[in-house]
């Protein structure tokens, strides 16, 4: 897609102003799952279509449902650029997501970015995901 060239990027904003992760937010897939890689390379990052909590705003460790390359996939938010910074909650430069299946296992087998330490509190849910992570902050 030539639409997303570097010259054009200054002309209009894509999703950088979306500081909350909510419906219609575009996320960055940070694992090496096939579908995720393809989506990112094609310049069509996944879009949130549902957040699995009552607030409808995803924080670190929350599950989201995404539309990715014509499919519905679930993912875990592992990084967010929060508008309001909180003590001891890492603020990432991008909104990161790791794709998972229904049972909570990641689709890929490698994660490229550090994960937040608070994710380790949910060890029983994301044991596999935590074990393939290389680094925590």
Partner 1 sequence: MASWSLTQRGLSRGLRLSASMHASYGRRMTSSLPEHLRKALAYSAMYPDLLPEPDLTRRNYVREMLERQDMLSRRRAIDIPEFYVGSYMSITVSDQNAPGKKNTFVGICIYRRNHGLRHQMALRNIVENEGIEMLYDLYSPIILEIKVLRLQKRLDDDLRYLRDALPEYSTVPWDMEPEPHREQGSVPVDETRVIMKPRPWTQRWERKELKGVKEWGLEDRFFKRAVEVSKPWEKYDLMKEYRCMVPLEDQYVVWKEVEEHRKTIEEEHKRSRRRKLLDA
118 binding partner 1? (CB under 8 A): yes
Query: Is-contact 83 61, C-beta < 8 A?
Result: no
Q: Which stretch binds partner 1 (CB under 8 A): 6-14, 44-52, 57-65, 100-108?
A: 6-14
Report the chain's C-alpha Rg in angstroms.
Answer: 14
102 binding partner 1? (CB under 8 A): no
Q: Name the residue nearer to partner 1 (CB basis): 64 or 119.
A: 119
Q: Which stretch binds partner 1 (CB under 8 A): 34-42, 52-60, 66-74, 114-122?
A: 114-122
Taking the C-alpha atoms of residue 28 and residue 106, their distance in angstroms, rounded to an integer, is 15
Q: Fill in the per-residue mask, 72 to 101: x = in contact with partner 1 (CB under 8 A), - = not in contact.
A: -------x-----xxxxxxxxxx-x-----
Let me know if 73 is exposed, middle or buried by CB neighbors in 10 A (0-12, 13-18, 19+). Answer: buried
Binding-residue total with partner 1 (CB under 8 A): 31
Tokens of 19: 């500081």
6 binding partner 1? (CB under 8 A): yes
* Site for partner 1, residues 27 to 66, rule: CB under 8 A: none
Let me know if 46 is exposed, middle or buried by CB neighbors in 10 A (0-12, 13-18, 19+). Answer: buried
Query: Is-contact 109 83, C-beta < 8 A?
Result: no
Residues that bind partner 1 (CB under 8 A): 6, 9-10, 13-14, 16-17, 79, 85-94, 96, 112-114, 117-121, 134-137
């Amino acid at each position: 897609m030539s639409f997303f060239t570097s010259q054009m990027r200054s002309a209009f904003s894509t999703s950088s102003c979306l500081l909350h992760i909510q419906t219609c937010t575009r996320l960055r897939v940070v694992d090496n799952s096939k579908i995720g890689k393809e989506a990112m390379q094609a310049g069509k990052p996944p879009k949130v279509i549902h957040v699995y909590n009552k607030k409808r705003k995803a924080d670190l460790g929350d599950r989201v449902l995404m539309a990715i390359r014509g499919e519905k996939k679930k993912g875990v938010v592992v990084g967010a650029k929060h508008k309001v910074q909180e003590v001891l909650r890492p603020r990432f430069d991008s909104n990161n997501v790791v794709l998972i299946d229904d049972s909570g296992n990641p689709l890929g087998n490698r994660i490229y970015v550090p994960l937040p330490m608070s994710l380790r509190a949910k060890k029983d849910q994301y044991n596999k995901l935590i074990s393939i992570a290389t680094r925590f902050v």
